[in-house]
């Protein structure tokens, strides 16, 4: 069976869905003829290469719409791939739109897997972006969703939205857990002094991730019970320059809170960066099931997060993590617990890793997807 994964930034901008595909390839290439269709900003990387036994086909995209959406031309190649399964990641990208057209032109079955971004954004955003999202959802987004023979998601809340708000048949919807390699992301022994309190943020520097809110909290939260705290940012996005400015503002702050902006990092660097952290912070407004949360849980790092998307089903407050709302007071309470209650933190990290091993391992995801690949029905348009 030929399985082709369609995703926007594989191997260059390893976001959650790209890391998901990279993890799947570790366990799929023994059973399937596996391919990845993706994009590159660099002409010298266009072409076919190998990764974990899969063939990776890269198509040139010199621009990105809204700094997140590549614009390659790959339709003809997808149609000509003779794939049995098009495993399409997210409905939001032009790569997914072209896969939907290929599905309707060819014989391949299409599993559309969502990684968040379903429905209207639950936060204040620019009017132009809001209108663009609404227009997309009613046109190309709807076309892409309707093209999927089966729609899977790493978040049950996304599936509930499709069923209740868009009237998708429940029989076409499947929950498939996100996945983390627990051999790479695992606890390490370390000792922490009071001068090494690091709150880590990993992800896009964008409004829907709550980065603007985190910046506001840092500005207002100058000290915390005498603790020196560094808030370390890994990623890229529209808040990058503001974070650099904040870093400079707090540079000479002798006590209290400092900011360190690392920018984009390759994914193989994340485990070591994770182990420098006292806690992972994720104040998002909009998520599916963020991979970085599971990676932190697997690494023995406590997570401080809002209960968005499938996070609400995974993080149980003071049992597998610290659940906060979008207020500074809530955030401060969680940070205080992390810094001052070692017994609670130890219990949380033990529970969290056990949960990830049980529900989000490579083996669990593979079994679920093997079953879905076999059962995808044949539909005509």
pLDDT of 78-131, one tens digit each? 999 999 999 999 999 999 999 999 999 988 999 999 998 887 777 666 667 777
pLDDT in tens, the chain (381 residues): 999 999 998 875 567 888 999 999 999 999 999 999 999 999 999 999 999 999 999 999 988 887 678 999 999 999 999 999 999 999 999 999 999 999 999 889 999 999 988 877 776 666 677 777 788 889 999 999 999 999 999 999 999 999 999 999 999 999 999 999 999 999 988 765 555 799 999 999 988 899 999 999 998 875 556 678 999 999 998 899 999 999 998 887 656 789 999 998 988 899 999 999 999 999 999 898 999 999 999 999 999 999 998 999 999 999 999 999 999 999 999 999 999 999 999 999 999 999 999 999 999 999 999 999 999 987 766
Q: Determine, yes or no, domain membership for 172.
A: yes
Residue 12 confidence (pLDDT): 57
The residues facing 4 across adjacent strands are 35, 86
Q: What is the pTM of this model?
A: 0.89
What would the 3-class secondary structure string for the chain be? CEEEEECCCCCCCCCHHHHHHHHHHHHHCCCCEEEEEEEECCHHHCEEEEECCEEEEEEECCCEECCCEECCCCHHHHHCCCCCEEEEECCCCHHHHHHHHHHHHCCCEEEEEECCCCCCCCCCCCHHHHHHHHHHHHCHHHHHHHHCCEEEECCHHHHHHHHHHCCCCHHHEEECCCCCCCCCCCCCCCCCCCCCEEEEEECCCCHHHCHHHHHHHHHHCCCECCECEEEEEECCCCCHHHHHHHHHHCCCCCCCEEEEEEECCCHHHHHHHHCCCCEEEECCCCCCCCHHHHHHHHCCCCEEEECCCCHHHHCCECCCEEEECCCHHHHHHHHHHHHHCHHHHHHHHHHHHHHHHHHCCHHHHHHHHHHHHHHCCCCCC
**212 and 108, same structural domain?**
no
Domain co-membership, 290 together with 322: yes
Per-residue model confidence (pLDDT) at position 337:
94
Say if residue 70 is in the same domain as residue 209.
no
* Pairing, β 47-51 against β 54-60: antiparallel
Specify if 184 maps to a domain. no
pLDDT at 29: 94
**According to the model, what pLDDT value does residue 255 have?**
63
For position 120, what pLDDT does the model report?
A: 75
Domain count, the chain: 2
Question: What's the confidence (pLDDT) of residue 219?
Answer: 86
pLDDT at 65: 81
Which of 137, 125, 73, 69 minimizes the C-alpha distance to 99? 73
148, 236: one domain: no
**Does 355 share its domain with 365?**
no
- Domain presence at residue 317: yes
Q: Are residues 280 and 207 in the same domain?
A: yes
Q: In this predicted structure, what is the pLDDT of residue 334?
A: 95
Report in angstroms the alpha-carbon separations of 62 from 74, 75, 181. 14, 17, 32
Same domain, 147 and 230: no
In terms of residue numbers, what domain contains 154?
Answer: 2-179+361-375
Same domain membership, residue 366 and residue 338: no
pLDDT of residue 300: 97
Residues 206 and 324 in one domain: yes
Are both 205 and 352 inside the same structural domain? yes
Tokens of 123: 């936060």
User: Looking at residue 30, which CATH number applies to its domain?
Assistant: 3.40.50.2000
Please indicate, yes or no, whether residues 14 and 59 belong to a single structural domain of this protein: yes
pLDDT at 179: 94
- Residue 188 resides in a domain: no
């Amino acid at each position: 069976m030929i399985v082709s994964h369609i995703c926007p930034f594989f191997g260059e901008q390893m976001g959650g869905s790209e890391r998901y595909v990279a993890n799947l390839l570790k366990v799929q290439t023994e059973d399937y003829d596996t391919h990845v269709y993706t994009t590159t900003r660099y002409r010298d990387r266009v072409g076919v290469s190998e990764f974990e036994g899969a063939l990776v086909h890269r198509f040139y995209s010199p621009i990105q719409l809204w700094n997140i959406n590549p614009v390659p031309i790959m339709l003809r190649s997808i149609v000509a791939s003779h794939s049995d399964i098009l495993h399409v990641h997210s409905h939001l990208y032009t790569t997914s739109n072209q896969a939907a057209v290929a599905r309707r032109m060819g014989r391949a079955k299409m599993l559309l897997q969502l990684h968040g971004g379903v429905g209207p954004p639950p936060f204040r955003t620019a009017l132009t972006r809001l209108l663009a999202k609404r227009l997309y959802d009613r046109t190309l987004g709807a076309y892409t969703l309707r093209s999927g023979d089966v729609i899977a998601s790493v978040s049950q809340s996304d599936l509930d939205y499709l069923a209740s708000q868009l009237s998708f048949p429940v029989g076409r919807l499947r929950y498939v857990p996100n996945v983390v390699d627990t051999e790479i992301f695992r606890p390490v022994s370390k000792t922490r002094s009071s001068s090494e309190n690091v709150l880590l943020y990993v992800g896009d520097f964008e409004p829907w991730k709550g980065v603007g809110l985190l910046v506001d909290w840092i500005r207002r939260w100058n000290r915390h019970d005498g603790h020196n705290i560094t808030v370390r940012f890994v990623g890229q996005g529209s808040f990058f320059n503001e974070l650099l400015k904040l870093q400079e503002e707090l540079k000479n702050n002798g006590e209290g809170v400092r900011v360190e902006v690392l920018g984009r990092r390759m994914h193989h660097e994340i485990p070591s960066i994770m182990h420098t952290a006292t806690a992972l912070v994720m104040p998002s407004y909009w998520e599916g099931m963020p991979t970085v949360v599971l990676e932190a849980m697997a690494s023995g790092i406590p997570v401080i997060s809002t209960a968005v998307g499938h996070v609400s089903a995974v993080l149980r407050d003071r049992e597998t993590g610290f659940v906060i709302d979008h207020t500074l007071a809530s955030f401060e309470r969680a940070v205080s617990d992390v810094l001052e209650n070692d017994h609670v933190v130890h219990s949380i990290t033990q529970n969290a890793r056990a949960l990830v091993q049980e529900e989000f391992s490579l083996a669990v995801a593979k079994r679920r997807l093997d079953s879905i690949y076999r059962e995808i029905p044949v539909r005509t348009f």
